[in-house]
Structure 1
């Protein structure tokens, strides 16, 4: 009797291909089956290449050139970047103003939005109406009309000056004072708390009520429940809002442009980074210089976003974390 390999097929032995150790053959979809997917993706791909990827790469090239929009670009190497940090005091002022704005407006916006979300996270009659009313500023805050209205409110004869004058406090126009103009823009940004508030409300709704009930039975007060339950459970939402606020604050443009008349005044106290990019690119026609500023801003936003993600592992708590 000889021992050898059986010539019987898996089907003949009654074993399925998977049980006999054979791998099932992969069936490749014909190209026509994927063509419809690529067809529906085509508008997005064309938009990505034409309106995003293409201009981005062109701006990177222009950042190393001297380009005035009227003549062909002239290659100057890294001269634009060297000039920004060595021979342009207005650029350094724009950095100072922007960092001051970001580090004050973004945290205050989140704090105010969180407080309002806690107040609106109740079951009272008409709460949906209150939430809608508080969300309205975020729909209007970034518009040109609101920026003009803000300029009038904090002007010499504005509502704020009149109210202060009623109490005997007289002064100059807020938007015309180098010490106060930037803070009017900070107040405007904090006033646009609606989007962050809605996201905080959604996060508060996801916290299990059983945790609060158990803490109440154990004798925990409102402060302890907020500090040891609400805040830790809400850290993923806080992190999400923080990243959005950092990016949006660095990109602020319209309020500073309208209130300062497009010049960053008074005395460059409201010279936001994006506003200075606009001045160099479309007022001074130094498009290569403006492109270099744009890429530096991209790097700055990327660094702060990366720092936020790196620090999140120390203070952001997720439900599925082990």
Structure 2
């Protein structure tokens, strides 16, 4: 090993150690617990711990609530990711416009929800979405629209949570997209403008390919975030109404910390890990196909 290689390992060792402790090791522990019947009884006496093999995974496949949670999670991701990325990119494009004034103030204002507490903002949004005295229904009433039970109607609960989550997280991607737009080659933009390309054509053929890697990164991070959705439905709806907002992570929390079925919860965690890994691999291959990587 050369001196340069030793130096590289020396500088990367702390980061690798952190990854090992907070990612690799917990993943291996969860995988180990997922093949046992680890429960509150095993916490008191390890002799109560038994090996069940793939029994926990078989039980998951036979649990209707798990499939409901998986479907809800997929729906959140399918609807939420385009909403979050679209809102972020639109805001970044607007703030990138040279005619917009007070850009720093707008960036701070739009980024602020991302750094605020999820629980605190979710509680505030519960009041905003309240059926009787919520601000949103007050505005709708002024437009002649009847009040909507945002958090008590299964048809409205998912859109309500998606609206909150999009408002909460889109500021981060907006900042990332703003940086990517600043790196778009201006000579290409000017050449396209001289060739008669309109605003949409320049965006489609110049801007979008240039920010492709950033767009892929935002998509990967957003999908992973929506697949791990928990705090928002937990605080706002407690998984209701009629289990319409139960997510995979919410189901795992209930199994592990409500019913103390920690072996089953570990199985859910490993399934979620495999799901996120598979989706990330698919997204990466799509990015390579469009030469974004």
Q: TM-score w.r.t. structure 2 length?
A: 0.89
Q: Which stretch of the first structure deviates more once superposed, 298-307 or 168-177?
A: 168-177
Structure 1 Cα separation of the partners of residues 247 and 18 of structure 2: 29
For 2:95 and 2:2, the matched residues in 1 are separated by 54
In the superposition, the TM-score normalised over structure 1's length comes to 0.82
* Partner residue of 1:196 out of 170, 173, 194: 173
Q: Does 1:279 align with 2:260?
A: no
> Within 1, Cα distance between the matches of 2:166 and 2:2?
55
- Which one of 32, 37, 40 corresponds to residue 61 of structure 1? 32
Structure 1 residues 302 and 159: CA distance shift in structure 2, 3 A: same
Deviations 1:168-210 (A, max 9, x none): 3223420111111111111112112111111111111111111
Query: Per-residue deviation at 1:28?
Result: 7.2
For structure 2, the 5+ residue unaligned runs are none
Residue 85 of structure 1 is matched in structure 2 by 61
- 1:187/1:225 CA distance change after superposition, 3 Å: same
What is the rounded CA distance, in whole Å, between the counterparts of 1:224 and 1:158 in structure 2?
42
- Deviation for aligned residue 1:58: 2.0
Q: 2:186 aligns with which of 205, 209, 228?
A: 209
What corresponds to 1:315 in structure 2? 290
- Asked if 2 retains the 8 angstrom alpha-carbon contact of 1:106 and 1:242, the reply is yes
Q: Please list every run of 5 or more consecutive structure 1 residues that lacks an aligned counterpart in the other structure.
A: 1-26
Corresponding residue of 2:114: 138
Distance 1:232 1:162, change over 3 A: same
Report how far residue 101 of structure 1 moved.
Answer: 0.1
- Assess, with a 3 A threshold, how the Cα gap between structure 1 residues 234 and 66 changes in structure 2: closer, same or farther: same
Residue 70 in structure 1 maps to residue 45 in structure 2:
no
Once the two structures are TM-superposed, the CA of residue 68 in structure 1 deviates from its matched residue by 1.2
1:312 deviates by 1.4
Say if 1:239 and 1:316, in contact at 8 Å, map to a contact too.
no
Q: Which moved more, 1:280-289 or 1:246-255?
A: 246-255
SS in 1 for 2:154: coil
Once the two structures are TM-superposed, the CA of residue 233 in structure 1 deviates from its matched residue by: 1.4
Query: What SS does structure 2 have at the residue aligned with 1:65?
Result: coil
Contact 1:155 1:176 in 2 (8 A): no
Q: Which has the larger radius of gyration?
A: 1
**Deviation by residue 1:237-264 (Cα, 9 ceiling, x = unmatched):** 1111111111111112111110123xx1
2:226 alignment partner, SS class: helix
Name the residue aligned to 1:270. Answer: 245
Identify the structure with the greater helix proportion: 2
Partner of 1:151 in structure 2? 126
Q: Cα–Cα, structure 1 residues 254 and 28, in superposed 2: closer, same or farther, change >3 Å? A: closer
